[in-house]
A and B are shown apart, each in its own frame.
Chain A
Amino acid sequence: MKEFFYEIWIDIRKNKAAFAGLILILIFLFLAVFAPLLSPFFPDQVIDGALRLPPNSHFQNYYFVFGTDDIGRDLFTRLLYGSRVSLLVGLSVVLLAASLGTFLGLVSGYFSGWTDRIVSRTMDFIMALPSVLFAIVIVAVLGPGLINAIVAVSIVALPNFVRLIRAQVLAEKSKPYVQAAQLYGASHFRILFKEILPNCMAPLIVQGSLGFSDGVLNCAALGFLGLGAQAPTPEWGTMLSDARSFLETSPWMVNLPGLCILLVVLSFNLLGDGLRDALDPRLKNRA
C-alpha cells in the first residue's frame, strides 16, 4: 500500500492543476486547524458600531482585513472558523457515504441476487430525485441543523459510491485470483475485504475527493436555504444567505464566503481529477 500512495504522489506532483489543488487544500486545512490562533476576534464577537465596514478598514483601535458583517462581526474571523465547519462537513460526508457506500457496493456486487436487487433499486430511487431537493426532504423530516444536513447530504452522495464499488467488484470478482482464493477455501468475508477491496481503492480515492467537494457544496446550499447550520454558526452557506439582502450595498459580505466555497470546491475537484488521471490505467501508460 505504501508504494501505491507513493506512486500517486509522484503523479500528482507532475500534474500542475492537481498539485495546485492539493496546495490550496493544505492551506485551508492549516487555516482551519489554527483558526483560533490566527483570528483577531471570536467568531461571535460583536463590535459595537462596526456595522458593514468594507474590507481593509479601521474602526476605533481595530483593523478589519475583510470588513465586518451587518451586526458588527469580523468577517475574516468568521471565514476562518467557517473553513473548520466546511472541511469537517466535507470529511464527515465523505467518511459516511464512502464507508456505507463501499460496504453496500461490495455486498451487492459480490452476492448478486436479491441483495443486489434491493440495494441497486434503492440507489436508483435516490438518484432519480434531484439531489438538493431530496436532501431538503430529508432535512425537513429530520429537522434543520448541521448534523442532519450532513446526514442528508451523505445519503444523497451514497449512490455514487455504491455504483462505483459495485461495478468494480463485478469486474474483479470474475478474475482468476478471486477464483484461486475460493479454491483454497477463503471465506466470502476474506475475499471481499482482503482480495477485492484493495483493488477498489483507486476509484474510491478519486470518488472520495470529488465527493468531498460535492458534500461541501450541498451543505452550503442547505445552509443557504436555512436548513443546514443555524445562526450564529459561522458556516459559509449560512453567511451567504444572511448577507443576501446586502448584496448591493455591501457586496463583500456575499463575495467572500462565496469565493471561499468556490476555492474549496475547485481545489478538491482539481485534486480529484488529478487522482483520476494518476489511478485510471486507461488514462495512463505505465511503461
Chain B
Amino acid sequence: MSQELQLEIEELSVQFKTDSGVLEALRPISFSLAEAEILGVVGESGSGKSITNLALMGLLPDNALIHAKKVNFNKTSLNLNSQKELRKIRGSQISMIFQDPMTALNPSLTVGYQMIETLRCHFDISKIAAEHRAISLLERVGISNAMTHLKSYSFELSGGMSQRVMIAMAISCHPKLLIADEPTTALDVTIQKQILDLLLDLQKENRMSMIFVSHDLALVKKYSQRIQVMYAGAIVESGNTVDVIKQPRHPYTFGLLKARPSAHEGLVKEHLYAIPGVVPSLKERPTGCQFHPRCFRSTELCKKQDPELRANLENTAQKFACHHPLEIS
C-alpha cells in the first residue's frame, strides 16, 4: 500500500511564554498521515493532543512559540507561524470539528445563515446556490427536514444535531484533512455511534484524511487505521491500530487499554487496572522519561534518560519510546 502522504510533520514543538518562564507544551514530535487515512490520537488531558491540532489550524494563543523543521501539507511546505498561509487552507483544505458543538455555533445566527456564509466565503456562488448546497449537505449528514432546520438556531438543536451541523459545515469545502477533536465526548453513546459512523462514511466517500482525537482508546481502536498515543507533550507509541491494541509495548498504552472498562467483556464489579497518579502539569515535568513516576516498570535509567521513539525490530510500523518495553507474548 504505497499511498501519497497528505501531511508530513517533522519536529514540531510548541512552547508557551508565561509569567513563570517558557513552558514546553509539545516536545518535538514527528508524524505523517497518508491520503484517506484515519489517524487516532489518544492521551489524557494535558498530553498535548489538542495543541498539535491547534498549531496545525493556527488557532493557538499569541503567547505560543511554534517551531517546526518541516511541515508538508498536500506536498507543499507550510509555515505554521504564518497566519496568512494558514488562513488560505483553513476551512477549505483543513477543517476541524470541536468537542462542544453547542458553543462552536453562533447562538444568535441561524444555522442556515452560518452555513451559507461559510459556503459563499470559499466558493463564488450565489445565495440561492449556496442554500441548495447547504440543504443537500444537511441531508447528507442525516438531518431530515433540512429546509426547516436551516432556519433554526443552535440552541434549538440537540447536541447530536448541532454536531451534525458542524460536520456538514466542516465538509462543505471538501477538505483534504479533517481534524475531529473529541467530537463525541459531550454526546450520549447512541448518538456517539451515529456520529462516528457518519464521519467514517464521509471520510471514505470523500477520501479525506482524518485525525481523530480522543481520550478513549476503545473508540479510537474502532475508528482508526493508525494510532498515536501521546503523553506529556510527546508521542510514546505509534503504529497500526491492530498491532498497538493487540500488543502494546509502552506501559502507558497498556495502562490506558486496561483502565477502560468494557461493556462487553470483563466481570461485573471488578477492580479495574488504574494507572496511578496524574499527568504532570507543564510546570512540574519530571526528568528522564516523562511517564516514569507513574510507571510500574520504571528503573533508575528512566529517571535519567528520556527514551527516544524507536522502531520495533519485527514490526517497523510500530514505534515506542520506552527503555523497558513490554515483551511480545
Chain B interface residue number, banded:
under 10
Q: How far is the CA of A287 from the CA of B16 in the complex (A)?
A: 10
| Smallest CB separation, B51 vs chain A (Å) | 13
Q: How far is the CA of A287 from the CA of B22 in the complex (A)?
A: 12
Q: How far is the CA of A287 from the CA of B61 in the complex (A)?
A: 11
Residue numbers in A under 8 Å from B16 (CB-CB): 287
Chain B minimum-CB-distance residue to A14: B19
| Smallest CB separation, B269 vs chain A (Å) | 26
Residue numbers in B under 8 Å from A287 (CB-CB): 16, 18
Within A232-287, the residues touching B (CB, 8 Å) are 285, 287
Residue numbers in A under 8 Å from B18 (CB-CB): 287
| Smallest CB separation, B27 vs chain A (Å) | 18
Within B8-27, the residues touching A (CB, 8 Å) are 16, 18
| Smallest CB separation, B150 vs chain A (Å) | 32
Main secondary structure of the interface of B (DSSP, over half): strand
| Smallest CB separation, B84 vs chain A (Å) | 25
Chain A minimum-CB-distance residue to B61: A285
| Smallest CB separation, A38 vs chain B (Å) | 39
Chain A minimum-CB-distance residue to B282: A287
Q: How far is the CA of A84 from the CA of B18 in the complex (A)?
A: 42
Chain A minimum-CB-distance residue to B20: A287
Q: How far is the CA of A285 from the CA of B16 in the complex (A)?
A: 13
| Smallest CB separation, B280 vs chain A (Å) | 15
Q: How far is the CA of A285 from the CA of B18 in the complex (A)?
A: 11
Q: How far is the CA of A285 from the CA of B17 in the complex (A)?
A: 13
| Smallest CB separation, B169 vs chain A (Å) | 26
Residue numbers in A under 8 Å from B61 (CB-CB): 285
Q: How far is the CA of A287 from the CA of B18 in the complex (A)?
A: 8
Residue numbers in B under 8 Å from A285 (CB-CB): 61
Q: How far is the CA of A287 from the CA of B15 in the complex (A)?
A: 13
| Smallest CB separation, B141 vs chain A (Å) | 33
Q: How far is the CA of A162 from the CA of B79 in the complex (A)?
A: 52
| Smallest CB separation, A266 vs chain B (Å) | 28
| Smallest CB separation, A37 vs chain B (Å) | 41
Q: How far is the CA of A287 from the CA of B281 in the complex (A)?
A: 11
| Smallest CB separation, B63 vs chain A (Å) | 8
Chain B minimum-CB-distance residue to A285: B61
Chain B minimum-CB-distance residue to A287: B18
Q: How far is the CA of A285 from the CA of B19 in the complex (A)?
A: 12
Q: How far is the CA of A285 from the CA of B61 in the complex (A)?
A: 11
Chain B minimum-CB-distance residue to A10: B19
| Smallest CB separation, B299 vs chain A (Å) | 34
Within B55-109, the residues touching A (CB, 8 Å) are 61
Q: How far is the CA of A166 from the CA of B58 in the complex (A)?
A: 40
Taking Cβ atoms with an 8 Å cutoff, the residues of A that contact B are 285, 287
Sample (3) of A-B pairs whose CB atoms are under 8 Å apart: A285-B61, A287-B16, A287-B18
Taking Cβ atoms with an 8 Å cutoff, the residues of B that contact A are 16, 18, 61
Shortest 3 CB-CB contacts between residues of A and residues of B: A287-B18, A287-B16, A285-B61
